[in-house]
Amino acid sequence: MKTLAKKDINKALGIWAQKHALLAPTKMDNGDCIFSAYDEKAFTLDYKKPPLSPKSVFFPHTEVIFDVANNQYKETVTAKKSLIFGLRACDMMGICQASSFMTRDKEDIYYRAKHNTAATIVMACPGAQNETCFCTTTLSGPVAKEGFDLQLYDTGDSFLVEVGSPRGEELLAGIPLSDLDDSRAKVQMDEFKQNAILTMPEVKSVIEAMNMLKDKKVAEKVWDDFGAKCITCGGCAFVCPTCTCFNVYDQQLSEGNGKRLRAWDACLYGGFTREASGHNPRVSQAARLKRRHEHKLLDYSSIDIQQGLCGCVGCGRCSDYCPVHIGTLEVVKAIAG
Ligand code: SF4
Ligand code: SF4
């Protein structure tokens, strides 16, 4: 196996940045860390879970899907050769989940184009980033199992470099690397993973909640109580790496000219399911919250990347950012409790 010395990380990032739109963990003035265009001065290896997953690389908040000029329309499929450095295992699984959803029946060409041209370098997670992480329960982390091009394991002065795809192999061209005996590397990777798992809370209630939802044993009062608290801000959906609801709308620029766009939406908004007749099959906030959590916690289908586990990757962001503290973690605890 190859290793990359930590002192050479900016050299490697500089090489990758020559051929890619490179996103990397970036320290903001307020102390937050986000995935942003690589800048050697603001880049940091000392980061926790960024507030937003990198899903907008594949599924932007707003994007034009076709332009209309003189009453003729032209589809607009944009993609650039991007590279996301440093994402965590839960976010890697989030990309796999979202990609599986967006390309499963009728392929979403806008998503697919960006997905095909984006490379990923995962930074294996050294342990729970805060008290809301539960990736070990959803089998999404702390180490990515699939989807990545490269995965790095921080072993102190250097990183072990795990190659996940032929594109990952290509990314190593020109990077200053050393060799490490495969069996020693495997011992180090296993140790890294075990140490990380030890820091993770075991959230048994996730499995209990999944079973109770499957057996339709959740009392409606649970949803009524959460529905009464929810202020319909949509924040939980926007920070969630696996949420892919969107709305489509038109902008007329002049007679015969305009564009069609799509933008993030959320199943917790009343308008998301309201039909043209005015009928809404999910008429209350309680019904919408119930549907959201069924979608997160019940099996999607056997073709899902997690082989029928659930649509939540355990990143905990909905619990971190819900202003009234009713993220998925709180919901599963209430269901199971
Ligand atoms: S439902 Fe919450 S914990 Fe699960 S993946 Fe989405 S934001 Fe993360
Ligand atoms: S973040 Fe909380 S309050 Fe906002 S929509 Fe989601 S559940 Fe409701």
The answer for residues whose C-beta is within 8 angstroms of residue 297's C-beta and 6 or more apart is 206, 209, 210, 213, 310, 311, 312, 328, 332
Closest CA to 3 of 124, 120, 147, 175: 175
Interval between CA 232 and ligand 2 midpoint (Å) = 5
- Segment-wise mean pLDDT, segments of 10 residues, the chain, 337 residues: 97 97 94 93 93 95 96 93 97 92 88 96 95 91 95 97 98 97 96 94 84 90 97 97 96 97 97 94 96 83 51 94 96 90
Cis peptide before 126 (omega within 30 of 0): no
Looking at residue 210, its pLDDT comes to 85
Q: Please state, as a whole number, how many other Cβ atoms lie within 10 Å of the Cβ of residue 127.
A: 14
> Can you tell me the distance from the alpha carbon of 304 to that of 77, in angstroms, rounded to the nearest whole number?
26
What's the pLDDT score for residue 132? 95
Q: Which two tokens stand for residue 138?
A: 């959803």
Q: Is the pTM of this model over 0.75?
A: yes
What distance in angstroms lies between residue 240's CA and the mean position of ligand 1's atoms?
5
pLDDT at 305: 44
Ligand 2 atom closest to Cα of residue 235: 1
- Residues having CB closer than 6 A to ligand 1 are 239-242, 296, 312-318, 327-328
How wide is the angle at C-alpha 100 spanned by C-alphas 153 and 88, nearest 5°? 20
